[in-house]
Amino acid sequence: MVSQRALRTQDELEAQLACLDLSRVDSDTPAEQVLGPFEAWVLELGAYRLFLSPVDGRWFLFDPIHEDWVDTGCKAGEVTFALQAGEIAMVPKAPEPARPASGAAPPGAPLPSEGPAAAAACPACGASLKADARFCGACGRPIRDARPSHCTRCGQPLAEGARFCPRCGSPATPAS
């Protein structure tokens, strides 16, 4: 369940969204029990209020004249909201560096285990994790039993439930 405290920054809201498990929402479970209160998804920026929909990841801006939420046309991670001269501005976020199409390292590239030790990443939000972490420090997701989505040795994407990497043969063990 979402923390009951008010999330204060856009980054916190978007990290919380990345960790949300919508599979727990069903017709018998009140949405607030899984998603938390509406106000937990509201970002206040000066006189402006923005709402991040936990269902579809879209940002909405409150229109006080019509007392309604208006779709900004932006999804989480696409823009940074800022105040410029007292007005709300949407600044596009820089795109993430391109990865090879397969998600694996390019042929001939050294495997991460051959260079400096690669840090583990949270499978939900991508934040760096310490080797002995049991929960993500950014989003709070338990990581003890989470199987990685990519091989921790070579970066190859892993099929759900894979026990070994199809590229390098390393075990796909849960983070400890």
pLDDT digit string, tens, across residues 57-82:
999 999 999 999 999 999 999 999 98
Beta strands in 12-170 (DSSP E): 42-45, 48-52, 58-63, 68-75, 79-84, 87-92, 120-121, 128-129
Q: Which of 157, 167, 164, 159 is nearest to 111 (CA)?
A: 167
Q: In what order do the strands lie in the sheet with 48-52?
A: 42-45, 48-52, 58-63, 68-75
| Cβ 15 vs Cβ 139: under 8 Å | yes
The model's confidence at residue 132, banded by pLDDT at 50, 70 and 90, is confident
Q: Is the entire prediction scored with pTM above 0.85?
A: no
- Whether the per-residue pLDDT at 147 is higher than 90: the answer is no
- Whether the per-residue pLDDT at 154 is higher than 50: the answer is yes
The model's confidence at residue 51, banded by pLDDT at 50, 70 and 90, is very high
Instruction: Tell me how far apart the alpha carbons of residues 41 and 84 are, in angstroms, rounded to a whole number.
Output: 23
Strand, helix or coil for residue 16: helix
Using a pLDDT cut of 70, give the percent of the chain over it: 74
Phi, psi of 50 (to 5 degrees): -120, 145
Question: Any idea which of 135-139, 144-148, 150-154 has the lowest mean pLDDT?
Answer: 144-148
pLDDT digit string, tens, across residues 87-110:
888 888 877 666 555 555 555 454
